[in-house]
Amino acid sequence: MTETDVAIIGGGINGGSTGLELAKNGLNVTIIDKNFICRGASGVNAGTLTMHMTRAQLIPYAKKGWELWMNTSEWLSKEIDVEKKNGLCLAFTEDEEKLLIERSKIRKYYGADISIISIKEAQRIDPNINSSIKCAAFCEMDGYVSANQTGNAYSKALKENKVKILENYDVSKIDYHKNKYVIIFKNGEKLTASSIILATGVNLEKTLKLLQINIKIKCLPQQLIVSERMPKIMDTVITVANGKLSLKQFKNGTVLIGGGWPGIGNIEDNYTETKPENLIGNMMLACHAIPRLKSSRVARVWLGLEAETDDAMPIIGEIPNYENAYVIGSIHSGYTSGPYMGKLLAEKILGKDIDLSLFDIKRFL
């Protein structure tokens, strides 16, 4: 039976970032994933780093996350493309204008540097947007990551920091006695750890049950649409007032359309299926925002499963009734803030005085 200081179950952005920070501080870390590193939500998400879609209370964390993403070569790896872009959030009707002004004001209150700008100013920032907008909100702190490269970047950084990675290891049982955790895998192997971190994304409900913790975690199957490569047709990250569109063009010319238009999916067999009506709605909205997009073709659609708690706020911190057991996940815009949230949890584990009370899992128990 092998031993480790810290066993992290779930190798997504949250488990990966926590593990990386712990390893940098000298702990012996093992990351376990039932699939490969960052092949869940963290490898298939839209990679948008925007304040315009972030939940107001999470803005301070998203800002810190954004800053980390902007210098990945320092703490992660060079193997991942990140681009800073201006962010424009558009309102097409008077109702949307009201909503945008109201929401931007609240986000601003929480620290996002968002301002409402005129049609003219918006067109100066990105001449490709639909000229029939009522107004726009502008934020300089925006951009995107090529999320498909997350797995490569994290596995490289983790290995360099001597983190042990167990891929294709599915946890079936966790025993706890004498302050030690014995993790038992489906293949029969075992691993002993002094502390454990549960970071299984959309599977958290099931994994928490292994420690007799019962909370509800919803599974949101989100669709993403990508075009074939096109000449440059836009220069900003575009979002809309109600938060149901994220749109940007990558360096290689492909345009990614997202925004949380649900498809069909379930956790049990990791099954997903597209919902054509919702694809069409999402595509229409995107083409309305950037009219030239209409001349392109959709190359691929895929889905990812996103976790959401009942109050749509994260759960991060200690697991009650256990020593040295932690949880991290269900973070809205979790890719943006993941690296920072992971760092925070690691610092807490290392004994720093970090306030995570906003994310305490006890609120559901």
Partner 1 sequence: MAILINNRKYDVIVIGAGPSGVSSAVNCAKKGLKVLIVDLNSNTGGQIYRAPPKTYKSISKKLKENEIQKQLSNEIKKFKIETAYNHTVWQVSPGFKVNAFNETSTIQWQSKSLIIATGTYEKIIPFEGWTIPGVIGLAACTIILKAHHFIPSKKIVLAGNGPLLMLVAYYVIQFGGKIDAIVDTSSKIDWIKSSFSLMTNPKNFRDGIKWVFKIFLNRIPVYSNSTIEKAFEVDEGIKLKIRNLKTGKAKNIISETIAIGHGLIPSTDITRLLRAEHIYDEQKGGWIAKVDRFLRSSVRGVYLAGDGAGISGALAASDKGLLASSTLLYDEKIISQKEFDQNTYKILKKLDKYEVFSKAISKLNSTPKKIIENIDNGTVICRCEDITKSEILRAVDQGARDINQIKSWTRLGMGPCQGRTCQYAASKIVAEYLNYEIDNLGYLTGRSPIRPVPLDRVLGDFDYEKITKVEAAPL
Ligand X SMILES: Cc1cc2nc3c(=O)[nH]c(=O)nc-3n(C[C@H](O)[C@H](O)[C@H](O)COP(=O)(O)OP(=O)(O)OC[C@H]3O[C@@H](n4cnc5c(N)ncnc54)[C@H](O)[C@@H]3O)c2cc1C
Q: Binding residue for ligand X (CB under 6 A) from 224, 316, 327, 361?
A: 224
List the structure tokens of 62.
Answer: 């998203």
| Beta pairing class for 271-273 and 315-318 | unpaired
Q: Is 28 in the site for partner 1 (CB under 8 A)?
A: no
Smallest gap, in angstroms, from Cβ of residue 145 to ligand X?
8
β-pair partners for 236? 86
Q: Does 233 bind partner 1 (CB under 8 A)?
A: no
Q: Closer to ligand X at the Cβ: 44 or 137?
A: 44
Beta bridge partners of 173: 184
Reported as type and span, the H/E element at residue 82 is: strand 82-91
| Closest separation in Å from C-beta 58 to ligand X | 10
Which DSSP letter does residue 227 get?
Answer: E
Backbone Cα Rg of the chain: 21
- Which residue has 């911190």 as its token pair? 317
Q: Contact 57/110 with Cβ under 8 angstroms? A: yes
36: contact with partner 1 by CB under 8 A: yes
Q: Among ligand X, partner 1, none, what does residue 45 contact (CB within 5–8 Å per kind)?
A: ligand X
Q: Which among 92-100, 225-233, 301-309, 356-364 is the span making contact with ligand X, rule CB under 6 A?
A: 301-309
Q: Which does 10 bind (CB under 5 to 8 A by kind): partner 1, ligand X, none?
A: ligand X
Closest by Cα among 186, 146, 152 to 36 = 152
Q: How many residues at the interface with partner 1, by CB under 8 A?
A: 57
Query: Cβ of residue 319: shortest distance to ligand X, in angstroms?
Result: 15
> Smallest gap, in angstroms, from Cβ of residue 226 to partner 1?
8
| Binding-site member from 67, 228, 310, 323 for partner 1 (CB under 8 A) | 228
Q: H/E/C letters for each residue in 244-272?
A: CCEEEECCCCCEEEECCCECEEECCCCEE
Closest contact distance (angstroms) between CB of 262 and ligand X is 10
**Which partner from the list partner 1, ligand X, none does 34 bind, CB cut-off 5 to 8 Å by kind?**
ligand X
3-class secondary structure, 38:
coil
C-alpha to C-alpha distance for 343 and 224, rounded to whole angstroms: 28
Q: From partner 1, ligand X, none, which one binds at residue 346 (CB under 5 to 8 Å depending on kind)?
A: none
Nearest distance in Å: CB 298, ligand X: 16
d(CA 344, CA 353): 10
- Using CB under 8 A, pick the residue from 260, 354, 363, 364 that binds partner 1: 260
The footprint of ligand X on this chain (CB under 6 A) covers a number of residues equal to 42
14 CB burial (10 A radius; 0-12, 13-18, 19+): buried
Query: Which residues is 28 bridged to in the sheet?
Result: none
* Structure tokens that stand for 207 in this block: 């994994």
Single residue of 242, 322, 347, 363 touching partner 1 by CB under 8 A: 242
b (16+ CB within 10 A) / e for 214-237? ebebebbbbbbbbbeebeebbbbb
Task: Please pick, from the candidates 332, 336, 343, 344, the single residue that binds partner 1 as defined by CB under 8 A.
Answer: 332
283 binds partner 1 (CB under 8 A): yes
Would you count residue 72 as binding ligand X (CB under 6 A)? no
Distance CA(159)–CA(155), nearest Å, equals 6
CB contact at 8 A, 219 and 266: yes
The Cα–Cα gap between 192 and 189 comes to 10
| Cα-Cα-Cα-Cα dihedral sign, residues 78, 301, 168, 325 | positive
Out of ligand X, partner 1, none, which partner does residue 350 contact, by CB within 5 to 8 A per kind?
none
- Asked if residue 317 binds ligand X (CB under 6 A), the reply is no
- The stretch near partner 1 (CB under 8 A) out of 64-72, 177-185, 272-280, 346-354 is 272-280
- The residues of the shown chain that bind ligand X, judged by CB under 6 A, are 9-15, 32-35, 39-42, 44-48, 170-171, 199-203, 207, 222, 224, 246, 258, 304-306, 329, 331, 333-336, 338
- The residues of the shown chain that bind partner 1, judged by CB under 8 A, are 36, 39, 43, 53, 55-56, 79, 92-93, 99, 103, 106, 132, 148-149, 151-152, 155-156, 159, 226-229, 241-244, 252, 260-261, 264, 271, 273-274, 276-278, 280-281, 283-285, 287-288, 293-302, 312, 332
